[in-house]
Structure 1
Amino acid sequence: MNTLKLWQRCASTLGGKWLFAKMLCFKAPYFSSISPQFVELRPEHCKVRINKRRAVLNHIGTVHAIAMCNMAELAGGTMTEVTVPATHRWIPKGMTVEYLKKASSDLVAIATPVKTNDWSEAGEYKVRVDVLDDMNDLVFQAIITMWVSAKKTVS
């Protein structure tokens, strides 16, 4: 089952969003370190939430920069997964980040494409991820460059 269909099936049931996050973290265990909660997922859009809790804090009591990077990569990657055609594959190629304000609350990451992509040839696909605090202030921003190409066909 593809990721979008799995999300649609899970999101409509009690505890399904929690289960979806657990399944994704089982496949990519590093993401479990931030205990993500998926809020929305559709082509060209993903919204992920994390709670401010001890496991994601730095020495000054704010959400750690790397926890926000992890959150951005999860939101951006999941959005890319449900956006690119099933005939294609993708991999993160790079990420540029900006830390704009101390992250002193729970956070929400919103991933969207920078522009519409042409899937006819392999190339870079840029994803913007904005991370907002409880006051809806932008605390972190990332541009993730994904490399997208057609899957190899087996002859």
Structure 2
Amino acid sequence: MGKRRTIDIWTSLASMPGGKWLFGVLLCLKAPYFSSVSPRFLQLRPGYCEVAVRKRRKVLNHIGTVHAIAMCNMAELAGGTMTEVTIPPTHRWIPKGMTVEYLKKATTSVVAIARPVEGTPDWGRAGNYDVEVVVTDTHGERVFRAIISMWVSPKKGSA
């Protein structure tokens, strides 16, 4: 999202009418593939991200439920955005791997919540930063779970 920090953009937009929607649009301009699920950011802060996806035709599979890959997409978006606003601005991240569990059919709109698996790591060295993303339906039931391994390292010239 350019030179401004993602959390600063969120903070300036989130309380404005349409600001959360605009934040999602801006993020999808930076990473266009995420626009395929039309994400709506609900909350964002260090250590926490909440993203909603409405049940609509473009995210459905052949049996009329939210497609598994649509949930993978929203999990990576929520996990990556949470990681972006959590790590120091001197660091960068990239997903290294993702393990997913499809727990039940997603027959309604869904919400993904991303949180770190454990406490704050030692940012002084490069390493894995594991993120859990849980996707629930409108009844609050878990339909999907992912653990995303993020590789976090100092940006070149920051060490």
TM-score range for the pair, normalised by the shorter chain length? over 0.9
What is the rounded CA distance, in whole Å, between the counterparts of 1:112 and 1:118 in structure 2?
17
The offset of 1:46, in angstroms, is 0.1
Give TM-score, length-normalised by structure 1.
0.98
Task: Give 2:110's match in structure 1, choosing from 107, 110, 117.
Answer: 107
What is the rounded CA distance, in whole Å, between the counterparts of 2:18 and 2:67 in structure 1?
28
Equivalent position of 1:143 in the other structure: 147
Say which SS state the counterpart of residue 63 (structure 1) adopts. coil
Residues 25-44 of structure 1 aligned to structure 2 (within 5 Å)? 25-44=28-47
Say which SS state the counterpart of residue 131 (structure 2) adopts. strand
The offset of 1:118, in angstroms, is 1.5
Task: Give 1:19's match in structure 2, choosing from 22, 43, 47.
Answer: 22
> Structure 2, unaligned stretches of length 5 or more?
none
Task: Render the CA deviation track for 1:50-99: whole Å, top value 9, x for unaligned.
Answer: 00000000000000000000000000000000000001111000000000
Equivalent position of 1:78 in the other structure: 81
Equivalent position of 1:134 in the other structure: 138
What is the rounded CA distance, in whole Å, between the counterparts of 2:59 and 2:94 in structure 1?
25
The offset of 1:120, in angstroms, is 1.3
Name the aligned partner's letter for residue 140 of structure 2: N
* Structure 1 stretches of 4+ moved >3 Å: none
- Among the aligned pairs, what percent are the same residue? 66
Aligned length: 154
Alignment partner of 1:59 is 2:83: no
Give TM-score, length-normalised by structure 2.
0.96
> Structure 1, unaligned stretches of length 5 or more?
none
